A and B are shown apart, each in its own frame.
Chain A
Amino acid sequence: MPTTLTTDVEIKPGIGAGGGKLGPGGDPFGSGPAGSKDWPPGWTSEDAIEPEKYRIGMWVGLASILMLFIALTSAYIVRGVPALSGGDSDWLPIAMPGVLWFTTGVLLVSSVTIEFARRALKRNEYARFKRWISLTTLFGVAFLVGQLIAWQQLAAQGVFINSHPHSSFFYLLTSLHGVHLLGGVIALSYVTVAALRMRIGFKRRTAVDVTAIYWHFMDGLWIYLFGLLFFFR
């Protein structure tokens, strides 16, 4: 396996040259510490290990978020099915606030735009990347605002978290999902600002990748919660 350092670094999809400087950092060593793998010449072991690390970390984190919502789903089912909850059913489904169709649509579209952004970055088309990533961030904010409007519409009808079980679950699930999504929006803002300042180096490319995974997951999670809350009540 060659260990000679070449300056013409082959740019691999997803791992491009660092922003500003050409070629990944100066580690003239071809063999990464992950053991069995041999990295192509010019890659540092860190280049190979870092994105993997963040990706694994993200999937592991998503598993735990998934468990949180699975647990709440089981509570929803137990609490919502009179036969299971012990008889005295006070389950009164709330009317769906219309704005939720809008927020759902926005979130769906944002999953597409973040994918465009990611692809653009892979092909090093910075202008397109900037456009799509900013747009995604805006969509994220719009979604959160829409959720707040939904709460307001319900509150105006006099439906609060303690009104009855379905409204309790509605407020609970939307706010937990909202908090997680807010985390995504913060991550998106971070890469957007970095992109606007033309600082999309190696680490931030990974951040874009990992944020995209998270974003798709949050999108899917919302579709699921939306279905659970309004088509399984």
Chain B
Amino acid sequence: MADVVHPVHGEVHRHPAPTGFIRKWVFSTDHKVIGIQYWCLALFSVFIGMALSLLMRLQLGWPGEEWGFLKTLFPNAAENGTISGELYLSMLTMHGTIMVFFVLTTAPQGGFGNYFLPIQIGADDMAFPVLNMMSFWITFLALVVLISAFFADSLAPMFGMTAASNVIGPIGGWTGYAPLSALGEKAGPGQGLGVILWITSIALFCIASLLGALNFITTMLNMRAKGMSLMRLPLTCWAWFTTAVLALLSFPVLLAAGILLLLDHLAGTSFFIPGNSYVNGKLITEHSGGSPILWQHLFWFFGHPEVYIAILPGMGLTSHILATFARKPVFGYRVMVYALFSIGLLGFFVWGHHMFISGMSPYSAIAFSLITLTIGVPSAIKTFNWLGTLWGGQIRFTTPMLFAIGFVSLFVSGGITGLFLGQTSIDLPLHDTYFVVGHFHLIMGVAAIFGMFAGTYFWFPKMFGKMMNEGMGKLHFFITFIGVNAIFIPMHIMGMAGATRRYSFHFNPVTGEGLHYLSNMTPLTRFVSYAAFFTIAGQLIFLVNLVWSWAKGRKASENPWEATSLEWTIPSPPPHDNFAGILPEVHRGPYEYSVPGAPRDFMMQSEPGAAEVHGD
């Protein structure tokens, strides 16, 4: 009976599409528009972050060189075209902050999650569309505030502070370690207005992420279509959900830390500043009793879950794409869900592995170390299940598939070094070397970026109604895959040779300054820089592909990949309220590929029929 009235029911729900440009594209409450906005924000940010890494690699490979274009770019900060130590550190801080917060935390969750979670569960929008809009615009504001730190130099006099020379913004790394980050101008150039803008941006970002997380969780718990039981959800949805839970519980802690740090700056409190500090040639007398280690605890209590916030959506997407293009069900669906949960849960108890050298008790270090190694278990389960999904499949090597396989590869090579760093005795010498830089770039940076590329190639047809160019896509994949390995694997070797992290150069072959034990590393350092230029250049192919496909690409059909989840049952691009008012009904699990006895090699989730198999 329900089927008969269904269309009527749907019509009641139709929300008319907004018409004005502002309501439709700027302050839109449509989750699809918001998803695209997040995705564009991430794309913009990743190019800024990449440009900064290019400058850093220039300096590391050829320390002290004068670059004419730098003079034009930063007339104050680089007046003679060289990258000073301070300028290097402020670029490093901006690079790390932009990449972690505005790329890795926005596109996979706010971008793809926003766009596809409601569609994949069969809802017409997120639970709280207005909150959704606010969370995007607060994120945007946070980005504006962070970028204004680039101009802190020229802004400072307006706030009655002295303009810092040689820097473009905050210095402190993306981790903003106290007490230097809490002392303000006293601690040196770049520590005044730059750091204040940095904290403000982070605090805004926290609030935006919290609103987003609230929306994701409620939507997934409450808006699923008829028949969409929990065990019929695509793994992407589970990943977004788990990510949202992590964000919900970890961002408040960073927010708390940010508020305390801001108070140390602006209100003269001493939460993080110990007494009798001797900084920058001066004895600090205004503060006493604070605990710099407290900052580290609060920061990493957030920081470790944050790396999972970056990577989990990529994991969900990888599972989804591997099944789609191997034409096989995901191997061990339930186990995959439980593994996601356990990674998320355990992720809250390992923050201490970032602080082994902070002087913590060896007993707590052992506890943190053991729990860290335990996370290897669900991670290995995921990896083996991905391989199991591929095993014996009729694999279609499309671009999204290549990037998903690349994700698995990077996850393994980055994960293995995690097992090294998780052990106290090995971490002590390797901490703050390029070994760590190589490790976290592979697993958190590039693997997550591969997830985003896979998502873009996979969903672009749905989002924009056009296929992306496969030739350019494959070229982009091979350049990027070879490139990132050529950048980040040698970094491990440099780390073991003792190359310290966050140094503006290691050894200068022209002047002979620097760390002499690294003097024979110059060729390797330059190799890494060349590899970085090569990889960065390769990203232009991606950009061209986006624009070209958007303008001239082949029209995408409703279901070009012959995939099964609900987003492939509606037109590309989807109408304003997704299902045109007719809420779908779900009859089966999300990965029914090559079902024996079925007419085709895939069955849509919404397909009723005799061969009904319960995902449960």
What is the interface of chain A, defined by CB distance below 8 A to chain B?
Answer: 1, 3, 26-31, 33-36, 44-46, 49, 52-53, 56-57, 60-61, 63-65, 67-68, 70-72, 74-75, 78-79, 84-86, 88-91, 161-162, 165, 168, 172, 176
Contact = CB atoms under 8 A, between A and B. Distances in A.
Contacts of B8: 28-29
Contacts of B213: 60, 64
Name the residue among A31, A70, A72, A75 with the largest chain B CB count within 10 angstroms: A75
A168 B248 contact: no
Given A45-B9, A64-B252, A165 B298 contact: no
B217 A60 contact: yes
A88 B298 contact: no
Given A1-B1, A71-B257, 19 more contacts: A27-B9, A28-B8, A29-B2, A35-B227, A36-B229, A44-B12, A46-B13, A53-B128, A56-B222, A68-B255, A79-B291, A85-B294, A86-B293, A88-B275, A88-B276, A88-B288, A90-B275, A165-B270, A172-B259
A86 B274 contact: yes
22 contacts: A1-B1, A31-B226, A33-B122, A34-B223, A36-B229, A44-B12, A53-B128, A56-B218, A56-B221, A56-B222, A57-B127, A57-B214, A60-B214, A71-B253, A79-B271, A85-B289, A88-B289, A90-B270, A90-B288, A165-B289, A168-B263, A168-B267
Contacts of A63: 248-249
Q: Which 8 A-B pairs have the closest CB atoms?
A: A162-B268, A71-B256, A67-B252, A68-B252, A29-B9, A71-B253, A90-B289, A168-B269
Contact of A28 (B5, B248, B260, B269): B5
B136 interface: no
Contacts of A84: 291
B257 A34 contact: no
B221 A79 contact: no
Contacts of B227: 35
A52 B217 CA distance: 13
Nearest to A56: B218
Given A57-B128, A57-B214, A68-B255, A75 B271 contact: yes
A53 B276 CA distance: 53
Contacts of A30: 2
B301 interface: yes
Given A85-B291, A162-B267, A33 B225 contact: yes
Nearest to A67: B252
Contacts of A86: 274, 289, 291, 293
A162 B127 contact: no
A190 to B, nearest CB: 15
A33 B301 CA distance: 38
Contacts of B267: 161-162, 168
B304 interface: no
Interface of B: 1-2, 5-6, 8-9, 12-13, 122-123, 127-128, 210, 213-215, 217-218, 221-229, 248-253, 255-257, 259-260, 263, 267-271, 274-276, 288-291, 293-294, 297-298, 301, 583
Contacts of B271: 75, 79, 165, 168
A75 B2 contact: no
A64 B2 contact: no
Name the residue among A33, A36, A45, A72 with the largest chain B CB count within 10 angstroms: A33
Contacts of B9: 27, 29, 31, 45
A161 B256 contact: no
Name the residue among B249, B269, B275 with the largest chain A CB count within 10 angstroms: B269
A161 B263 contact: yes
B217 A35 contact: no
A64 B270 contact: no
B44 to A, nearest CB: 28
Nearest to B270: A165
* Main SS class of interface, B: helix
B263 A172 contact: yes
Contacts of A44: 12
A46 B275 CA distance: 59
Contacts of B226: 31, 33-35
Contacts of A85: 289-291, 294
A176 B12 CA distance: 42
B294 A79 contact: yes
Contact of A68 (B218, B256, B263, B297): B256
Name the residue among B225, B228, B252, B260 with the largest chain A CB count within 10 angstroms: B252
Contacts of A90: 270, 275, 288-289
Contact of B222 (A26, A52, A71, A75): A52
B153 to A, nearest CB: 28
B357 to A, nearest CB: 17
A35 B2 contact: no
B269 A71 contact: no
A75 B255 CA distance: 13
Contacts of B228: 35
Nearest to B256: A71
B224 A35 contact: yes
Contacts of A31: 2, 9, 226
Contacts of A56: 127, 217-218, 221-222
A80 to B, nearest CB: 10
Contact of B12 (A27, A57, A172): A27
A75 B248 contact: no
B435 to A, nearest CB: 30
Contact of A89 (B222, B255, B289): B289
A88 B6 CA distance: 71
Contacts of A70: 253
B127 A33 contact: no
A45 B271 CA distance: 51
Contact of A64 (B13, B215, B251, B276): B251
A65 B207 CA distance: 11
Given A35-B225, A74-B297, A161-B269, A3 B5 contact: yes
A45 B229 CA distance: 18
Contacts of B583: 33
B502 to A, nearest CB: 25
Contacts of B5: 3, 28-29
Contacts of B248: 60, 63-64, 67
Contacts of A172: 259-260, 263
A79 B273 CA distance: 11
Contacts of B214: 57, 60-61, 64
B285 to A, nearest CB: 13
Contacts of B250: 67
Contacts of B127: 53, 56-57
Given A3-B1, A67-B253, A68-B256, A75 B298 contact: yes
B275 to A, nearest CB: 5
Contacts of A57: 127-128, 214-215, 218
A178 to B, nearest CB: 14
Contacts of A168: 263, 267, 269-271
Contact of A78 (B122, B123, B263, B291): B291
Nearest to A45: B9
B240 to A, nearest CB: 14
Contacts of A3: 1-2, 5
